[in-house]
Structure 1
Amino acid sequence: MGERRCALVRVLVLQAAWAVSGGQVRYSVPEEAKAGTVLGRLAQDLGLEAGEAEARRLRLVAQGRRASVEVSGASGALVLSSRLDREELCGKSAPCALRLEVLVERPLRVFHVELEVTDINDNAPVFPAARKNLSIAESSVLGSRFPLEGASDADIGVNAQLTYTLSPSEHFSLDLHRSEEYRESLFLVLTKPLDRETIPVHRLVLTASDGGRPSLTGTMELVITVLDANDNAPRFNQSVYKMQLLENAAEGTLVARVNATDPDLGSNGEVTFSVSNTFPEKGKNIFHLNARTGELNLAGGVDYEDIRSYEIQIEATDKGTPPLSGHCKVVLEVLDVNDNAPEVWVTSLSVPVSEDASLGTVVALLSVSDRDSGANGRVRCWVWPASPFGLEATFAGSYSLVLREALDRERVSEYEVEVRAEDGGAPPLRASRGLRVPVSDVNDNAPAFAQAVYTVLARENNAAGAELARLWARDPDEAGNGRVSYSVWEGGAAAVSASGAAGGGWRPASSYVSVDAESGRVWALQPLDYEELQVLQFEVRAVDAGEPPLCGNATVQLFVLDENDNAPALLPPAGSAAEAGGVAGEAAELGAAAAGAVSGSGTLWAWAAWGAPAGQVVAKIRAVDADSGYNAWLRYELWEPRGKGPFRVGLYSGEVSTARALDEADGPRQRLLIVVRDHGEPARSATATLSVSLVEAAEAALAAGSSSSSLSSLSLSRAAGAGAELGPGAASAATNVWLVVAICAVSSLFLLAVVLYGASRWAPRAAVLSGPGPTTLVCASEVGSWSYSQRHSRSLCVADGAGKSDLMVFSPNFPPPPPPGPAAKDTQPEPSALLDTVSGTLLLCLVPSPTPFPLTCPVSPASFAVVVWSRAPPRRPGGGR
């Protein structure tokens, strides 16, 4: 026990010495050491700092009996967890070493530790049997040798070196023959002639002692029977037969043929063969010896990986009395064949692998082995498919599965990797191990719409909350990285009005539409009006829930489709300020129509001369529809009078012209009811009443001039009204101007009255102007226009080349014109019936000069007029009239 304790101390001292060769640490421990024995400071030997072993999860990869060793988590020491039996682990192999794999995480590394288990003398020599019976003829000559079965010791080295002693005997001694090539041979040697009559049976004790300290022994009793007379024993032609046998040899294969001869005659010379001993004992049932021929055949299977050689003791015995025997040894070497495929083990697997993992990342650790030897045991490994992973050899039989190419989970979300191994035999044997390597997702894909621009058509007057479109953005990421939410980008939206200009500039899209965050449905927040908005362009943004979030955009062009929701609106008659005002005037007309500036049904006035030929244009009906396309395409129809009336209306021009020559039979006045329709479904309409007075040609010309003056007065009155809208300062300035004009008018009132009276006396048909029929408004762009706002601008004009005089009348209030109807030509109407204007209107009447008849300009008690004659129309500085 003292020596064993000393050996343990020596082992512990050796643990302090470690060597690193290619990442390998070596320790040594005696077998049968107690559990808990510290084998070495593994963490320190691997270069880890104090406390780093537990932080980086230093651990062993257990495989088979390697679980007898463990790593202390706190100290990082390598500790024995259970007793080790060298004979059980390695048998007779020397040295006995266990290869351990040590893993360190953060980062992942692998180290290899070799633990050598040293032998102690814990096994005593053992003989095959406790008793051995021998028969020796008394005629045996001195020096005769009788083989004995030696003892076996499971230990190795010095502990297995056996010495033999024989109990004291004057007839026998021991002869031990040792050879480096074969096992030791033990013989019992006859040293003194035997005398059966003196000692018929010899009982000896054979003792085997090993070389351990202390030495252990084993004994076997030898019972020697002395036989009489047969003094020649059989002899083999070879003492040792060396044979070789492939491990895949079939049963019945001839292993060896032994031959022995006996010079005796008769039964003393007849030899039979038998197997006296087989080492190892497993071979007893594997081989069969023919007792008559000496042929040794294979009766079972041999395995090179189990037992590599056999020693078979064969005895040849004659039939003499007593029988004599001779002995030989058959040494059988088993040859390796490639009958073991490689084996692949996965010792560690780190999955899933992030798709943004760097190249060289270790995914798994593998171990590969082959039980064959030589070229049959050399293994080549590779990965299939060849990408994106590869194998790197870390130690003999150990490999790392590493990342060689960048991963993309959206392209391949999981890999089925097969590690293949092939040995160097002929033919080679293969093995494989499948690995499933899932790829974890990162947010590397932004949501993408199927279209960069979506065109959406929506009818106007849709209900609030109506679904306009449904957008969808694809994000190939998974979970939150692929969960998309939608929103309207608050950068603004271009709202295009029906006139083509930006309606209100940039307005937030959220005032028109909203997008469902989950489904991508686009909803209308309010009814759309084509007349207000034709095109709405906005952006929808799709954002995923990744970290950081990624987004994608799509442009939505919403086109509002027109519906026939606006009836035609009548415009002021031709000659208003709209024509002189150009584009501004046209916009004003459209605005006035949309606001209902002219009622859907109103009375217009016109004059026609008797005898006017067919086709002469009397008036023009003007209307506008705020809709577009067919909904705004207008047609004009004459409803009254029906049949063959003297007038007709252009279907699409709105011009009222004579259908035939006019005569006095048509009456002094014609009332026309004109319907203006659009082409919508259903159609909408407006009506206009046109009162046409039939007069003489000269009266028609004068009436046309009067109507132009009325138009100018209307424009001036509206300009005066504008002063009230412009503010207190502007209104005051305008009032001063009109006061000056009024003073001038009053001072000339008397003179003008006299002139008018004289003129009326010399005009034979002066009463024509007193006839029924109101003054109409005619566009006179050459005279000029007074504008008090962009919305209410008007212009007055007369025909070119006619002499003009200006009559300005301030009228605070005029009654509406009389209803159309027949009236006598000589009837003198009320003065207020000649003027068609509104309260507070300034009339500018233009009459030719000189005129063949006096001009009577009736006014109400609350109004006054100024008349000025001129021979030519006034010219503006720019040359216009």
Structure 2
Amino acid sequence: MKMMYIASLCLKTGMESRMNAWILCSQFILFLSDWSAAQISYSVTEEMDKGTVVGNLAKDLNVNARDLQSMNLNIVSGYSKKYFEANFKTGDLYANERIDREEICPNTAKCTLNLEAILSNPVVLQRIEVVIVDLNDNAPTFVDKLFSLNISESSPSGERFLLPQAVDADAGSNSVKTYKLSTNEYFSLDVQSAEEHSVSAELVLLKTLDREKHAHIKLTLTAVDGGKPPNTGTVQININVLDVNDNTPSFSKTLYKARVNENAPVGSFVIQVNATDLDEGDNGRVIYSFVRRAIFNPANVFSINAETGEITVKGALDYEAQSAYEIHVQASDKGASPRRANGKLLVEVVDVNDNAPEIVVTSLINPVREDADVGSVVALVTVTDKDGGKNGQTRCKLAGPTPFKLNLNYKNYYSLVVDGPLDREVLSLYNVTITANDEGTPSLSSTSIINVEVSDVNDNAPRFIEPEINIYVKENSPVGVSVFTIRAVDPDINENGKITFALEGDSKNIPITSFININTDTGDIVSLHSFNFEELKTFQFKVRATDSGVPPLSSNVTVNVCILDENDNNPTILAPFSEHGSINSETIPYSAEAGYFVAKIRAVDADSGYNALLSYHLSEPKGNNLFRIGTSTGEIRTKRRMSDNDLKTHPLLVLVSDNGEPSLSSTVSIDVVVVESTTDIQTQFRHVPIKEDNFSDLNLYLLIAIVSVSVIFLLSLISLIAVRCHRTDGSFSRYSAPMITTHPDGSWSYSKATQQYDVCFSSDTLKSDVMVFPAPFPPVDAELISINGGDTFTRTQTLPNKETPKAPNADWRYSASLRAGGVMQSSVHMEESSVMQGAQGVLVQNWPTASSAADGEGGEVSPPMGAGVDSNSWHFRYGPGGPGAPPQHLKPGEVPPEAFIIPGSPAIISIRQNQGGEDDKSDFITFGKKEEAKKKKKKKKEKKDKKDKGKDDDE
């Protein structure tokens, strides 16, 4: 994964930089496997001069030294002092501080400094181990400059006496390696050394002492280290020769071992040592004590029972401070000249998980750009635990969901990298919590919080609070006044969130910049023009908001400006009362009733809304209550009838007011003259001079329209009369009605015709008869039926219909005129289905028939009173069941299906439907002469013209 990640970084770097950067990335990929498994190791001696070169990083990292600065090489360590630094020009790693091994690594055999070499472009992490080589710069020393030793003269040869131990701050081969004793005849020196223990020296008695010869012996003990050249340290040994105690206590073991847990409470039992003495009395009674060795005094940590030799815990034990103690116990008898024996005790401190992991964070990039790529290194995290074994093994993780993650670099070294998208507008500060746990029982943990700031990137365009802005400005408002403030927000900060405003575009070829201006910083819109609602009601423009980021982002908003109307126009009186030079006078008759129309005042207002809502009022003299005016209509009418006390001339002042605040008004004066009759009114009008200049364009248009309508009406009337008069009496071709012919066997045939309601007789027919169809009847949907004289029926088309009309009873009764007629000589044409069918949707199954003797249904045909067989006037009654049957229902405007005219014959056929009386129960068809019909029509027209003329006179 790491190899693929660095390869992707190298690819990105290779495309953006020079060719040698790509070659360098290739080398990183080739040696990545070695870096993941090994580390760079250098060795330097302590106390070297500042600036001393330790090694060449460019060579060991396989990087060109010239590219180190561009790749941002950093040397990171967890120490308080920065002991090493890198030279970007040569790639050398040199000493930046004085290095004292004894200060950095006290009491340790091997001293190393761990560093991290970090390349940021591309990201490469390399662990560096610098081994500090010890110099023999410290000589062995003894804590005490004088050491006294009491030896009985009776001490046998070969008896040993423990000598003080020298301390050397150096380690390894430069520490104390041996001891030397000054030349004497009584004692020799036995030096004991071991790999795991320090070097110790014992004084060995070579021959019996003689107190009488030498009561005091002075020796010099020299400690020699392993340096080249070696350093030495000395201590003066004074031996006091005592008298007679010939048995020395003896320990049961030469080496005692014990284990005790760290942090064991005070008084905890460690071990019990035992020594015996063959002497009796006080010379055989043994007491125990600790022997102080160099700087370590066992009595500070442990306590020993002088009588029993039981050792217990006295002070705090810390495995991390010291994991083992080497204690020397002395057993002495209580003789006058006490004899002593030395025993050795090795106490091992058992580690307890009492140290939580420690987290050290080294920030590399803070703040982090919000557009940082995934995998960008933010910080280095080092986790340490002072405990040993599993108690010192740690695991590290992030707490909670964050756009970061920890990558393990080497052992307990981690990198905090970006693992997801960052958005400063959502969260500008991340408190990244790092939790480290060890593997002890119970496990201990520690937490460290890293504050990672996210720096802003211009990734948000300004946003307007409203998608569209409506501004309302009063007309006649002063120039230079702020009418509105445009507000826009940008989640970005600093320059990225600083917004400036500008106007964009013109509205319908209107130069916006001549009307308004905008403050680029505050967004205040200032008017540069005093608006007039009557000239401009609305206009539109756009405002662009742009931030100051790089690159800048912007957005637009549409602004609609609506001009609000103010009441700045007086009502205007319309013609004829507004014409200059005209006489505003009206004449009414003395006989005028209450409510008589006098005049109507019309006015308009250029304003709108309530400002243009007009009301009319009369400002009349006090006590004059003859006239009133419609408040909303402006019509002047009389309140009552005239009386003899009323004046003949009434001057009226009409006040027209609008509904604005404040209200504006106009006035017009009218003189109302009372005359005796209508003739006087007309005369009065004829005396009113009409000036030619008062004939307006509106009057001209009205005159042209009236003349045009009149001409069109006259042309239409002439055309209609010509069409009606063009029809000839004997013309059957116009109707082209198909014939329906009956046959002796009762069958019939017909053909379809145009929709007409005319029935025509031939001109040479002397009389016209109506014949009743014999059974079976044709369908009710038949559109036209033709009956020819000679009792002949012909069927030319069968009409579709789901219902068959009900046939009357076969027993027919004919009137005398029909019987006398003999064979029918005329032909009857019935056009359109209405002959057999009523109004739309209402089936008419009743045919004109003679009375049926069987059931009383059907109709009856009879000549009019005084008419003979040759009479041309007939009455025909039809319908079911006689007088009690209901009338047929027709919709308004429909022609009754039974009405028809017979052209070429002196007879006409019409339908009469009466409402009320007995005529409501049946309908009649009347046969009459044309001349009589024309006379009636002419008489009716004269009566109507006379009535209309009378109405005109009244008006």
What is the TM-score with the length of structure 2 in the denominator?
A: 0.62
Determine if the alignment matches structure 1 residue 534 to structure 2 residue 533. Answer: no
CA separation in 1, counterparts of 2:671 and 2:120? 101
Determine if the alignment matches structure 1 residue 683 to structure 2 residue 606. Answer: no
- Classify the secondary structure of the residue corresponding to 1:51: helix
Q: 1:448 aligns with which of 437, 443, 463?
A: 463
One-letter amino acid of the counterpart of residue 782, structure 1: A
| Matched residue, 1:546 | 549
| 1:559 to 1:695, Cα distance in 2 relative to 1, 3 A | farther
- Preserved CA contact (<8 Å) 2:291 2:297: no
- Classify the secondary structure of the residue corresponding to 2:68: helix
| Matched residue, 1:85 | 100
| 1:779 to 1:241, Cα distance in 2 relative to 1, 3 A | same
- Classify the secondary structure of the residue corresponding to 2:293: strand
Q: 1:622 aligns with which of 602, 627, 645?
A: 602
- Preserved CA contact (<8 Å) 2:66 2:88: no
| Matched residue, 1:94 | 109
| 1:198 to 1:655, Cα distance in 2 relative to 1, 3 A | closer
Determine if the alignment matches structure 1 residue 562 to structure 2 residue 562. Answer: no
CA separation in 2, counterparts of 1:678 and 1:167? 137
Write out per-residue CA displacement over residues 636-660 of structure 1, whole angstroms, 9 at most, x where no aligned residue.
Answer: 4555788779877555444566778
| Matched residue, 2:44 | 29
Deviation at 1:262, TM superposition (A): 0.9
Deviation at 1:684, TM superposition (A): 0.7
- Preserved CA contact (<8 Å) 1:710 1:777: no
Deviation at 1:545, TM superposition (A): 2.7
CA separation in 2, counterparts of 1:473 and 1:644? 66
One-letter amino acid of the counterpart of residue 327, structure 2: I
Deviation at 1:99, TM superposition (A): 1.0
- Preserved CA contact (<8 Å) 2:653 2:667: no
Deviation at 1:222, TM superposition (A): 5.4
| 1:697 to 1:74, Cα distance in 2 relative to 1, 3 A | same
CA separation in 1, counterparts of 2:374 and 2:261? 48
The structure number with the bigger radius of gyration is 2
Determine if the alignment matches structure 1 residue 71 to structure 2 residue 71. Answer: no
Deviation at 1:40, TM superposition (A): 0.5
| Matched residue, 1:413 | 428
- Preserved CA contact (<8 Å) 1:490 1:510: no
| 1:108 to 1:607, Cα distance in 2 relative to 1, 3 A | same
CA separation in 2, counterparts of 1:316 and 1:461? 120
Deviation at 1:265, TM superposition (A): 1.6
Q: 1:352 aligns with which of 354, 357, 367?
A: 367
- Preserved CA contact (<8 Å) 1:71 1:78: yes
One-letter amino acid of the counterpart of residue 528, structure 1: F
CA separation in 2, counterparts of 1:145 and 1:618? 158
- Classify the secondary structure of the residue corresponding to 1:406: coil
Q: 1:519 aligns with which of 522, 530, 535?
A: 522
Determine if the alignment matches structure 1 residue 395 to structure 2 residue 395. Answer: no
One-letter amino acid of the counterpart of residue 52, structure 2: T
Q: How many residues align?
A: 680
Q: 1:45 aligns with which of 60, 70, 77?
A: 60
Write out per-residue CA displacement over residues 409-450 of structure 1, whole angstroms, 9 at most, x where no aligned residue.
Answer: 233333344444343444444444444333322223333333
1:330-369 mapped onto 2 (5 Å cutoff): 330-369=345-384
Determine if the alignment matches structure 1 residue 780 to structure 2 residue 780. Answer: no
Deviation at 1:226, TM superposition (A): 5.3
Write out per-residue CA displacement over residues 553-595 of structure 1, whole angstroms, 9 at most, x where no aligned residue.
Answer: 4444443333332222233349xxxxxxxxxxxxxxxxxxxxx
Deviation at 1:551, TM superposition (A): 3.1
- Preserved CA contact (<8 Å) 1:243 1:332: yes
| 1:654 to 1:83, Cα distance in 2 relative to 1, 3 A | closer
1:72-151 mapped onto 2 (5 Å cutoff): 72-106=87-121, 110-126=125-141, 132-137=147-152, 139-141=154-156, 143-149=158-164, 151=166
Sequence identity percentage:
41
| Matched residue, 2:865 | none
Write out per-residue CA displacement over residues 131-182 of structure 1, whole angstroms, 9 at most, x where no aligned residue.
Answer: 5544545555554444444545444444447245556667654444555555
- Classify the secondary structure of the residue corresponding to 1:687: strand
Determine if the alignment matches structure 1 residue 632 to structure 2 residue 635. Answer: no
Deviation at 1:625, TM superposition (A): 2.0
Please, which moves more after superposition, 361-370 or 651-660?
A: 651-660
Deviation at 1:118, TM superposition (A): 1.9
Deviation at 1:260, TM superposition (A): 1.0
| Matched residue, 1:484 | 499
Deviation at 1:348, TM superposition (A): 2.9
CA separation in 1, counterparts of 2:133 and 2:549? 59
Deviation at 1:490, TM superposition (A): 2.4
- Classify the secondary structure of the residue corresponding to 1:603: coil
Deviation at 1:243, TM superposition (A): 1.4
| Matched residue, 1:741 | none
- Preserved CA contact (<8 Å) 1:352 1:440: yes
- Classify the secondary structure of the residue corresponding to 1:366: strand
- Preserved CA contact (<8 Å) 1:572 1:622: yes
Deviation at 1:28, TM superposition (A): 0.4
- Preserved CA contact (<8 Å) 1:364 1:402: yes
- Preserved CA contact (<8 Å) 1:711 1:777: no
| 1:696 to 1:237, Cα distance in 2 relative to 1, 3 A | same
- Preserved CA contact (<8 Å) 2:531 2:563: yes
CA separation in 1, counterparts of 2:645 and 2:172? 156
CA separation in 1, counterparts of 2:312 and 2:406? 47
| 1:20 to 1:126, Cα distance in 2 relative to 1, 3 A | farther
Write out per-residue CA displacement over residues 79-128 of structure 1, whole angstroms, 9 at most, x where no aligned residue.
Answer: 12444333333234232111123344456654332100123444445456
One-letter amino acid of the counterpart of residue 412, structure 2: G
One-letter amino acid of the counterpart of residue 348, structure 2: E
CA separation in 2, counterparts of 1:24 and 1:152? 35
Q: 5+ unaligned residues in a row in structure 1: which ranges?
A: 1-18, 493-504, 575-597, 720-775, 786-795, 802-881
- Preserved CA contact (<8 Å) 2:290 2:329: yes
Q: 1:319 aligns with which of 334, 341, 346?
A: 334
- Classify the secondary structure of the residue corresponding to 2:104: helix
| Matched residue, 2:343 | 328
Determine if the alignment matches structure 1 residue 162 to structure 2 residue 85. Answer: no
| 1:690 to 1:162, Cα distance in 2 relative to 1, 3 A | same
- Preserved CA contact (<8 Å) 2:164 2:293: no
| 1:381 to 1:199, Cα distance in 2 relative to 1, 3 A | same
One-letter amino acid of the counterpart of residue 48, structure 1: V
CA separation in 1, counterparts of 2:303 and 2:625? 143
- Preserved CA contact (<8 Å) 2:657 2:663: no
CA separation in 1, counterparts of 2:478 and 2:96? 81
One-letter amino acid of the counterpart of residue 87, structure 2: S
| 1:600 to 1:34, Cα distance in 2 relative to 1, 3 A | same
- Preserved CA contact (<8 Å) 1:263 1:269: yes
Q: 1:304 aligns with which of 309, 315, 319?
A: 319
CA separation in 2, counterparts of 1:677 and 1:444? 60
CA separation in 2, counterparts of 1:351 and 1:599? 87
Q: 1:507 aligns with which of 507, 510, 513?
A: 510
Please, which moves more after superposition, 20-29 or 224-233?
A: 224-233
Deviation at 1:408, TM superposition (A): 2.6
CA separation in 1, counterparts of 2:633 and 2:104? 116
Q: 5+ unaligned residues in a row in structure 2: which ranges?
A: 1-33, 715-955
- Classify the secondary structure of the residue corresponding to 1:28: strand
| 1:624 to 1:602, Cα distance in 2 relative to 1, 3 A | farther
Write out per-residue CA displacement over residues 617-642 of structure 1, whole angstroms, 9 at most, x where no aligned residue.
Answer: 56544332222234333344555788
CA separation in 2, counterparts of 1:634 and 1:194? 149
- Classify the secondary structure of the residue corresponding to 2:102: helix
CA separation in 2, counterparts of 1:129 and 1:649? 137
Please, which moves more after superposition, 512-521 or 177-186?
A: 177-186
| Matched residue, 1:581 | none
